[in-house]
């Protein structure tokens, strides 16, 4: 059996928001295809105006950083933070040119020292007084902000609990890329990147038996965090054509008992191999050891036959790695199907 390794990062989201910004507005252009400034966008319930293309951007979450780097914007970035995995290999050289303000959350002072003219984030946790500051406060300081639409679209956020009112769609990622490309006046790069991602998505291996079931384990041993219906893992299951056994849970990462997981007995377990290794259950080897020795889980069919697909934390988070995750999940199911280990 082939194993494929991936990992997820749990975004800590602490502000409440509902369904907003679901359709991207027509681009504001200058008649030659470039962005027309001032540019005003509605972003997660906040109206943001850009007087010019940013030249000193700070990205406060790995998913945001990797989108900016993928758009070729390293020369306009003055800082990044909140990393869960090594950067994508194709982006390593550009990423090395961008100062890392912190591995985890930076202070407001560290961010302000870079004199940013844009702050982006893929986590609502970032834009709170406990971290860098809320968006209204940053606007008072004259700093525009951009929040990933994956945080606010069809979602209600209360404390660290994210409850989806609708499923995350791949178009939300494409919208984020398109809007950031417009903000930086590189619309052609955004269009090319979206086209490339769509082509990869279309070329992902098909799953021969689309009645398979899956559960996604992020972390936690005593009470595990397992993916609910509607964030990135739910999107992957739909794209591949399999069923998430906890599709009835609306939270992004609800705590679910081992007894409940064993009762639903998924065909395949997707295991997150977290680089951060902060608590039991982050690392892949501790996950597998637990599953194969715990009396509640060791008799699950996926555990007995070691039907595992492994993803990184960043692949389980909304962001540019969504395509990587779909490819790996499809390849994993295809390999298991070939060996007769799934339905």
Residues 55 and 72 in one domain: yes
Residues 164 and 219 in one domain: no
Residues 170 and 295 in one domain: no
Residues 93 and 167 in one domain: yes
Residues 147 and 247 in one domain: no
End position of a domain, from candidates 149, 184, 201: 201
Alpha carbon distance 195, 1 (integer Å) = 33
Beta bridge partners of 269: 215, 308
Alpha carbon distance 78, 56 (integer Å) = 5
Helical segments of the chain, H only = 62-70, 92-95, 108-112, 135-140, 149-152, 170-183, 187-203, 232-240, 258-264, 284-293, 301-304, 322-338
Note whether residue 53 is domain-resident. yes
Residue located via tokens 């602490």: 14
Note whether residue 29 is domain-resident. no
End position of a domain, from candidates 148, 174, 201: 201
Note whether residue 4 is domain-resident. no
Residues 330 and 227 in one domain: yes
Q: pLDDT truncated to tens, each residue of the chain (343 aa)? A: 333 333 223 232 333 333 344 444 555 554 457 999 999 999 998 999 999 999 999 999 999 999 999 999 999 999 999 998 999 999 999 999 999 999 999 999 999 999 999 999 998 788 888 899 989 999 999 999 999 999 889 988 665 566 789 999 999 999 999 999 999 999 999 999 999 999 999 888 776 555 789 999 999 999 999 999 999 999 999 999 899 999 999 888 899 999 999 999 999 999 999 887 666 778 899 999 999 999 999 999 999 999 999 999 899 999 999 999 999 998 888 888 776 555 4
Residues 234 and 323 in one domain: yes
Number of domains in the chain: 2
Domain holding 132, by residue range, is 39-201
């Amino acid at each position: 059996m082939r194993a494929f390794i991936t990992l997820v990062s749990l975004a800590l989201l602490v502000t409440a928001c509902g369904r907003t910004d679901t359709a991207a507005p027509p681009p504001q252009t200058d008649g030659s295809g470039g962005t027309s400034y001032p540019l005003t966008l509605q972003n997660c319930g906040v109206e943001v105006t850009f007087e010019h293309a940013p030249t000193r951007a700070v990205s406060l979450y790995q998913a945001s950083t990797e989108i900016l780097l993928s758009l070729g914007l390293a020369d306009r970035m003055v800082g990044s933070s909140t990393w869960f995995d090594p950067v994508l290999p194709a982006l390593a050289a550009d990423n090395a040119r961008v100062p890392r303000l912190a591995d985890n959350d930076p202070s407001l002072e560290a961010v302000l020292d870079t004199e940013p003219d844009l702050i982006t984030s893929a986590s609502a946790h970032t834009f709170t007084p406990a971290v860098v500051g809320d968006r209204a406060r940053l606007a008072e300081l004259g700093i525009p902000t951009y929040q990933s639409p994956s945080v606010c679209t069809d979602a209600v956020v209360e404390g660290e609990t994210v409850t989806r009112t609708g499923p995350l769609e791949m178009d939300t990622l494409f919208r984020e890329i398109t809007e950031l490309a417009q903000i930086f006046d590189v619309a052609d790069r955004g269009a090319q990147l979206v086209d490339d991602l769509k082509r990869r998505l279309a070329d992902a291996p098909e799953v021969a038996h689309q009645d398979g079931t899956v559960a996604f384990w992020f972390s936690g041993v005593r009470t595990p965090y397992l993916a609910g219906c509607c964030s990135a893992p739910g999107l992957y299951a739909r794209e591949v054509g399999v069923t998430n056994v906890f599709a009835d849970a609306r939270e992004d990462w609800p705590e679910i008992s081992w007894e409940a997981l064993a009762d639903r007995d998924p065909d395949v377990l997707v295991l997150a191999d977290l680089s951060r290794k902060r608590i039991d259950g982050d690392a892949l080897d501790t996950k597998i050891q637990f599953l194969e020795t715990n009396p509640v889980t060791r008799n699950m069919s996926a555990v007995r036959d070691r039907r595992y697909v492994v993803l990184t934390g960043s692949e389980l988070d909304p962001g540019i790695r969504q395509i990587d995750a779909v490819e790996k999940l499809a390849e994993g199911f295809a390999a298991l199907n070939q060996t007769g280990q799934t339905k």
